[in-house]
A and B are shown apart, each in its own frame.
Chain A
């Protein structure tokens, strides 16, 4: 069965510092990979997704992620963090199910930003 691991429960960075959030997945076939962000009290918003092609994917808000098949990873990066990036981040893998693709989510990484 598919699974997603986000090893870091909580990360704190200073504003302006670089950021990398880790995501490892377990799935036998070609994965469809997503990163979502959830601001406090809000629903989830898509940051970026990988289906095929270039393994470096650009997303919204200056985020990017790199798919590495050999490491089963899809890590999220941002070169310079802003205070407004404080939120919870979820990695997900899309897999086919009965009637529809489904998303399996990691448990999330909460990002705190120090001004």
Chain B
């Protein structure tokens, strides 16, 4: 079975802090994705990566950056956290760049105070 793990289930940070959310997949998938999920808004794509060191902006990249130094690991970075970034963050991976199934991690609920 594909396993996508996220470093924390719950995280509380202060406004202005730099925040790192880590995601690891164990199935040698090429593509990895970061979404945020808010009530009534569904899932919105922040960034994705289709190869090591490659990244593309999604629909809502403002205030975020990403890093993919190794194939299995994809990090989401909040350079200076703000209260409007309080949300559930979901990581996903897919085998190839085609219309493959995306496999999701359990999510990190981030609260910025």
Residues of chain A touching chain B, judged by Cβ–Cβ distance below 8 Å, are 9, 32, 34, 36, 41-46, 49, 51, 90, 94, 97-103, 105-108
Contact = CB atoms under 8 A, between A and B. Distances in A.
Contact of A97 (B43, B44, B56, B90): B56
Given A34-B101, A107-B40, A102 B107 contact: no
Contacts of B58: 102
Interface stretch (B14-22, B65-73, B78-86, B92-100): B92-100
B48 A102 contact: yes
Nearest to A95: B99
15 contacts: A32-B99, A36-B104, A43-B106, A44-B43, A44-B92, A44-B104, A46-B102, A100-B30, A100-B31, A101-B97, A103-B43, A103-B45, A107-B40, A107-B41, A108-B42
* Interface magnitude class on chain B: 20 to 34
Given A32-B99, A44-B43, A105-B44, 20 more contacts: A41-B106, A42-B106, A43-B4, A43-B104, A43-B106, A44-B90, A44-B102, A44-B104, A46-B101, A90-B43, A94-B99, A98-B56, A99-B48, A99-B51, A100-B31, A101-B97, A101-B98, A101-B100, A103-B45, A106-B42
A9 B99 CA distance: 27
B68 to A, nearest CB: 12
Interface of B: 4, 30-31, 33, 40-45, 48, 50-51, 54, 56, 58, 90, 92, 94, 97-107
Contacts of A98: 56
Contacts of B100: 101
A98 B43 CA distance: 19
Contacts of A105: 42-44
